[in-house]
Amino acid sequence: MASFKKNNHSPTLNAKIFSVALLALILPVKAIGNTTIAAPEPATGWQGKPEVAANQYMAVTANPIATHAAVDVLANGGNAIDAMVAAQLVLNLVEPQSSGIGGGAFLVYWDANTRLLQTFDGRETAPARADEDYFRKPSGDLLKWRQARIGGRAVGVPGTLNLLHTAHQQFGDHDWGRLFQPAIRLAREGFSVSPRLSRSIAGASKYLKTFPKTAEYFFTPAAEPLPAGYILKNPAFAETLSLIANEGPSVFYNGPIGKGILESLGDTSELPSLMTEDDLRAYQTISRPAVCAPFKDFSICGMGPPSSGGLTVGQILGISEHFNLQAMGPTPDGIHIVLEASRLAFADRARFMADSDFVSVPVKGLIDPNYLKKRGRLIQTETIMGKAQAGNPPGADLSQATFYHPESVGTSHLSIVDQQGNIVSLTTTIESGFGSTIMTQGFLLNNEMTDFSFRKSIENRPIANRVEGSKRPRSSMAPTIVFNSSGRPVLVAGSPGGSRIICYVAKTILNILEWGMRPQEAVSTPHFCNRNGKTEIEPQTPQTTQNALVSTGHDINIKEMNSGLHVIQILHDGRLIGGADPRREGLAIGN
């Protein structure tokens, strides 16, 4: 837990807006109806979003129905945790490809009364019987990632429901069962399939037809993907939620729902699932210390290991701080610095970051200002550095191997500020779009085990993120709350997007704190990302910016970058300004 003391200072955010071509040329993105398994959550069109302001409370989620559910709770006296529970359950129903009780989540929570910052780890865990050869066939060959991500072998012990209940027991105001009613009602009466869900089904149709229950739910009797506007009912999920509402999460972790989960895993993958009743019963949400990285007069606070999000975002910002980004603005020069800082941060991520309950992670060393200053000296302003090597942060175990592991694009994020000033920043996932594609009792199960490295070592050097029994796979989720120098929260942020989450969140923080943008503008500007390889940019990036980056040596890869940034800025007078990513269907509502 982190504690911040009050004083009488107010934040002074840079309000200067740079009128450069990068911001002027934000063009619509064409909808994509098909995609590959590497990105089964396709880009589904650009939806321009207005800036939203409020004085009392605000919620921003990935789906309008979920946002309304959260705001209804807030309007009726519930707090941010109550609203989070209601919104997550509705998201499970209306955006099932991204998150749900079959997956895991990370929560960063600010308690305004006690002025304590807490983070909760609801990440999925490996079965206790899993070992370093978990993805190795009897022949000795490793499964390919595309083979491994479908079916029971990919499923980790779910944590989202446990996290919701743990947080609600500590901080919730409304009755637990009451918060389930919006999702139960929608599941019974039906809801309109959104354009995004319809296109996501079409994009992953080959894989969604693997298992009969899943195919029956997501396709019409004519075996066509459900069209936008189709009224979809889910009585099985209504029954599941009713059980949990009335009896608590024990029916999930030590009861009939858990038994149904285990039955659904049987004979669904080339290698069998190793999950047992004991694994479900043993699951616990872990309260962990927040990672707070200094950036100028701010503290960028997020989730520590097993997430790499807080550390890697903190490194990018901490390295970039040693350059005059404010004077550069969001120009090719400024973007180049952030991209090079990202190379360095991702190199450290690939070597050192994993579940710190199993491997030594030099958390303090990775965001040590002197270390980051030294790393920043490797950046040249006129040319790229090429492939960055991991550094030697204080406290690091240098025996570990550097290993880059593929991550698919999925996940959802919600940001909430309530009337009392309590803050929720929750990133929640079932990993790939539609997870393992196994559906049980009305909800999908994750494929989070594929976030582990399939290999245990390289040249006899252990890989930090190797599979081990009861270990939690490394994540890139980066739910974030930013505090000013007086310890007052000024920004809530987070996004889906696989390992690119780190780039999206870092860019958005810089856009607001360093380059003076408003939240909606900040989330809408074209993305740029470097994960220590090619530089990825969105197609709407101005040609002048593209040309400038190429001239500096960047190997450019132009692609859709499917984020879902949901941001709330808290101004010095208490007003709330919200931004919802135009790349998704998200909505900000406040009062």
Matching residue, tokens 């310890």: 487
Dihedral, 313, 315, 318, 319 alpha carbons, nearest 10: -120
- Asked if 569 contacts 577 with a C-beta cutoff of 8 angstroms, the reply is yes
- Asked if 336 contacts 323 with a C-beta cutoff of 8 angstroms, the reply is no
Tokens of 194: 């959104």
Question: DSSP code of 155?
Answer: P
Q: Which one, of 102, 214, 215, 163, lies nearest residue 445 by Cα?
A: 102
- Asked if 32 contacts 200 with a C-beta cutoff of 8 angstroms, the reply is no
Output the DSSP codes for 370-397: HHHHHHHTT--SSS---SPPP---TT--
Alpha-carbon distance of 426 to 562, in angstroms, equals 18
Buried b (16+ CB within 10 A) or exposed e, 276-301: eeebbeebebbebebbbbbbeebbbb
Catalogue the active-site residues. 411
Matching residue, tokens 């308690």: 111
Q: Which one, of 484, 466, 465, 467, lies nearest residue 476 by Cα?
A: 465
Tokens of 451: 């976030």
- Asked if 467 contacts 95 with a C-beta cutoff of 8 angstroms, the reply is no
Q: How many helices (H) and strands (E) does the chain have?
A: 21, 24
- Asked if 530 contacts 339 with a C-beta cutoff of 8 angstroms, the reply is yes
Q: Which residues contact 589 (CB under 8 A, 6 or more apart)?
A: 52, 58, 59, 60, 67, 68, 71, 578
Specify the DSSP element, H or E, that contains 424.
Answer: strand 423-429
The strand ranges marked E within 37-103 are 52-54, 58-61
Tokens of 169: 């027991």
Alpha-carbon distance of 81 to 131, in angstroms, equals 36
Alpha-carbon distance of 352 to 29, in angstroms, equals 36
Dihedral, 412, 352, 376, 512 alpha carbons, nearest 10: 20
224 by Cβ neighbours in 10 Å (0-12 / 13-18 / 19+) ranks as: exposed
Q: Is 297 helix (H, G, I), strand (E, B) or coil?
A: coil
Tokens of 316: 């990018």
